[in-house]
Amino acid sequence: MSKRDYYEVLGLGRDSSEDEIKKAYRKLAMKYHPDRNPDSPKSEERFKEVKEAYEILCDPHRRAAYDQYGHAGVDPGMGGGGGQGFADAFGDIFGDIFGARGGGRANGYRGSDLRYNLEISLEQAARGTETKIRIPTMEACGVCHGSGAKPGTSPLTCPTCNGHGQVRMQQGFFSIQQTCPKCHGSGKIVSHPCATCNGVGRVKQHKTLSVKIPAGVDEGDRIRLSGEGEAGVNSGPPGDLYVVIHLTPHSVFQRDQNDLHCEMPISFTTAALGGEIEIPTLDGHAKIRVPAETQSGKIFRLRGKGIKGVRGGSLGDLLCHVVVETPVNLTARQKDLLQELESLNQQDDSRHSPRAKSWMDKVREFFAE
């Protein structure tokens, strides 16, 4: 069964603010909480659905991925980096009941995913290539090794949660586990923060990566580099890097999936009398025999001269679109010859220009009505 749209689940529009998302979630979570509806299995399912929608939309990075790619762009089972988790909101919802509010996150959460737009040529996309990219990222601090503590000191175990990062509160039939308000889920307190990272444990750096581009990639394809996103917080796993492919415009070819298209200008004489012309392909040159009386717009198909897609299958084709080029910068002699030719054509226009004759007949019929 397909999942419902997360905005629809919360009854919101896609332009809703963070406060509107939080307010909608609080209202629905209180309404459908299983402890309030012990005899309603549907309420429990609805509560889980609302919870999942909030976990995605409250995180700016995961919300952006969802807005662009839908459910395929997010993994509800994996915590996002930099966003507010379910434990935070759950503490916010029931904090007033218990006289305390949670504001932290689960102990150790995943770093943010990163996106890099990479431009490559059509030839590189067709044959595959390897290139290096330089990206900004948040890495574990090399001075404190990600602990956030000044060298020579160590983080202390949080006295409130005893290092668990979570505290449990109970009142009546409610039993709530929420993020520790003292250490914000890390389980540790940094008394002497590292001067390099200010106790955060991460610093902004640049790194160079080698990216292998498989043959056949197309505009908008994504290459995932696992673990090359931002470093996680509190020893959480790093995010991923998504390299998005963009093709630079080509001077000769236009790509349509695995097929290639190109315009093939030919002279008036070649179109009328026929002849052989040479055209470029990605593998070199090929020759096409143009039959006599070829009209502008005719398409010649060269099978197997296109691109083989990244997901396999057969090679595409090269489609050459004929464009009859009208002569320009004519000399007096050329003009005289063309006028003589036109005069001869008009003596039997139905034979030499059947399309023009047919069109003119239709025009006359139209105005005669």
Indicate the burial class of 130 (C-beta count within 10 angstroms; 0-12, 13-18, 19 or more).
Answer: exposed
Region 217-227: mean pLDDT is 89
Contacts with 358 (C-beta within 8 Å, 6 or more apart), sequence order: none
Indicate the residue type of 274. G
Range 261-326 classified under CATH 2.40.10.500: no
d(CA 241, CA 81): 13
Q: Looking at beta carbons, which pairs linking 285-289 to residues 24 or more positions away fall under 8 Å?
A: 286/318, 288/264, 288/320
Q: Which range, 5-19, 187-201, 351-365, has the best average confidence (pLDDT)?
A: 5-19
User: Closest Cα to residue 86, out of 105, 113, 112, 107?
Assistant: 105
Percent of the chain's residues with pLDDT above 70: 81
> Is 94's pLDDT higher than 50?
no
Please name the residue that has the structure tokens 């507010």: 84
> Is 204's pLDDT higher than 60?
yes
Tell me if 145 sits within 8 A of 122, measured CB to CB: no
The predicted structure's pLDDT at residue 239: 85
Please tell me the class of the 1-77 domain. Answer: mainly alpha
φ, ψ of residue 332 to 5 degrees: the values are -60, -40
Average pLDDT in the chain: 78
User: Closest Cα to residue 144, out of 136, 155, 129?
Assistant: 155
pLDDT tens profile 99-146: 333 333 444 567 788 888 999 999 999 999 899 998 887 777 878 877
Q: Sorting pLDDT into bands at 50, 70 and 90, what band is 301?
A: very high
The predicted structure's pLDDT at residue 90: 42
Total Cβ atoms within 10 A of residue 247: 17
Contacts with 209 (C-beta within 8 Å, 6 or more apart), sequence order: 132, 133, 134, 135, 225, 228, 241
pLDDT tens profile 26-81: 888 888 887 777 777 788 888 888 888 888 898 888 888 888 777 777 754 433 33
Q: What is the pTM of this model?
A: 0.54
